[in-house]
Amino acid sequence: MSVTQVAAYAAPAAKAPLERTTIPRRPVGEHDVLIDIKFAGICHSDIHQATDGWGEGIFPMVPGHEIAGVVTEVGAGVTKFAVGDRVGVGCFVDSCRECEQCLAGFEQYCLKGMTGTYNAIDKNGEPTYGGYSTHIVVDENYTVRIPEGIDLDVAAPLLCAGITLYSPLKHWNAGPGKKVAIVGLGGLGHMGVKIASAFGADVTVLSQSLRKKDDGLRLGASEYHATSDETTFEKLAGTFDLIVSTVSAPLPLDTYLRLLKVDGAFVNVGAPEDPVSLNLFSVIAGRKTLAGSSIGGIAETQEMLDFCAEHGLGAEIELIGADRINEAYDRVQASDVRYRFVIDTATI
Ligand code: NAP
Ligand code: ZN
């Protein structure tokens, strides 16, 4: 097969509305699979990048790193997948495969840098284009299997939102007897509540308001507090073993660190565009940990999908046609999402 043009939605320039276009997809190589994309989630990271919020992006940009679809062609050397398999692709499509991080299964921390699913340049010097499109060609080693038992539409957001919460919750031992707070009930946050409660932890949601309290409790939280209410920080001082922040804007870290127990950890997965300040006494007092975490490796992403299938966990989604992507971006930026927009790629 030669290079094919496929339909996609792209931002032609930073901050410009996304519009329908066509993009090239490479021929199916020996170790590649061709995926007929069925659904693509909209992550806040798509918006940060399409608006140059994290620095200068590569345009035209086809965002989308929460991809769920079906394999329609495989290269001659492919052993892991067959035509008809239900598969997913997350935030990266390649890495060096040689460094200690890649060899340990932490491709997201590849010492030479992973190749992003979009807004990156691949080994052939070509720009990568993401999931807001009808098809994608991906190396089988960067493709995961979506188990039977999770519908593809609610599985798509697991490829970023799901793994981004699963990985730190597992690493920092969220489980029975642990008090865990999830800050921000958006795409990532709602998966954090589901996964942490499936791990057996006692989960509290810290949200800007009580607007989504009923949802938070239904998703598995035992408590729900508004961060706009100053008494929340007095009431909950010294409460948590682990706090995972999914907030897309800078937070007053010193205030949040006071909510940890001695030896507690505050793990940031939100990726605000602006720096934050910190008084180091906030971690000195109480031997607290301030950490970050980025998505997860391929093997852990597969483990997370299998866990979600076993526990009946998928994302809560609002399925949209591609003509509503720009509206969805506005709503995500206004924290008006319950809890992930997913594009039906048949509408592209
Ligand atoms: P999202 O759906 O927009 O959720 C973010 C939530 O944060 C909002 O729903 C809101 O929750 C809260 N929030 C927003 N603005 C706030 C503010 N000014 N102050 C306090 N709370 C605020 O976004 P997402 O897709 O979950 O992504 C969240 C962040 O994680 C983004 O920055 C994204 O780029 C980043 N991210 C990081 C990784 C990683 O690997 N580390 C992976 C994916 C995404 P409430 O309404 O409940 O307050
Ligand atoms: Zn994402």
Report which protein residue has its CA nearest ligand 1's atom 22. 247
DSSP assignment letter at 278: -
Domain range holding 282? 162-292
Residues 16 and 143 both lie in one domain: yes
Task: Return phi, psi of residue 188, to 5°.
Answer: -70, -45
Residues 271 and 174 both lie in one domain: yes
Pairing of strands 135-139, 32-41: antiparallel
Distance 157 CA to ligand 2 centre (A): 8
Residues 227 and 113 both lie in one domain: no
Whether 160 lines ligand 1, by a CB cut-off of 6 Å, is yes
Of 245, 276, 292, which residue is a domain's last? 292
Under-70 pLDDT residues of the chain: 1
Distance 316 CA to ligand 1 centre (A): 15
Whether 270 lines ligand 1, by a CB cut-off of 6 Å, is yes
Residues 275 and 320 both lie in one domain: no
Six-digit token string for 82: 């067959």
- Give the position of tokens 């493709």: 143
Residues 10 and 150 both lie in one domain: yes
Pocket test for ligand 1, best of 246, 276, 340 (most atoms within 8 A of CB): 246
Residues 191 and 286 both lie in one domain: yes
How far is it, in rounded angstroms, from Cα 119 to Cα 123? 14
Distance 44 CA to ligand 1 centre (A): 7
| Nearest listed ligand to the Cα of residue 108 | 1
Whether 95 lines ligand 1, by a CB cut-off of 6 Å, is no
Distance 103 CA to ligand 1 centre (A): 30
Of 292, 309, 330, which residue is a domain's last? 292
Of 292, 310, 338, which residue is a domain's last? 292
Residues 249 and 307 both lie in one domain: no
DSSP assignment letter at 347: G
Instruction: Please give the pLDDT value at position 3.
Output: 81
C-alpha R_g of the chain: 20
Six-digit token string for 258: 């006071």
Residues 148 and 194 both lie in one domain: no
Give the SS3 label for residue 206: strand
Element of type H or E holding 138? strand 135-139
Report which protein residue has its CA nearest ligand 1's atom 35. 270
Residues 134 and 283 both lie in one domain: no
Write down the number of H helices and E strands in the chain: 11, 17
Burial label, 77 (beta-carbon count in 10 A; 0-12, 13-18, 19+): exposed
Q: Which residues contact 43 (CB under 8 A, 6 or more apart)?
A: 63, 65, 66, 157, 160, 161, 187
- Helices marked H in the chain — which ranges? 44-50, 100-103, 152-155, 161-171, 187-198, 213-219, 231-235, 253-257, 281-284, 298-310, 325-333
Residues 286 and 174 both lie in one domain: yes
Please state the atom number of ligand 1 nearest to the C-alpha of residue 205.
47
How far is it, in rounded angstroms, from Cα 165 to Cα 182? 10
| Residue 138: how many other CB atoms lie within 10 Å | 26
Distance 44 CA to ligand 2 centre (A): 6
Residues 41 and 152 both lie in one domain: yes
Instruction: Please give the pLDDT value at position 1.
Output: 53
- Do the beta carbons of residue 40 and residue 129 sit within 8 Å? no
Give the SS3 label for residue 5: strand
Please give the tally of structural domains in the chain. Answer: 2
Report which protein residue has its CA nearest ligand 1's atom 19. 249
Distance 270 CA to ligand 1 centre (A): 6
| Nearest listed ligand to the Cα of residue 49 | 1
CATH number at residue 197: 3.40.50.720
Whether 43 lines ligand 1, by a CB cut-off of 6 Å, is yes
Residues 120 and 172 both lie in one domain: no
CATH number at residue 9: 3.90.180.10
| Residue 112: how many other CB atoms lie within 10 Å | 12
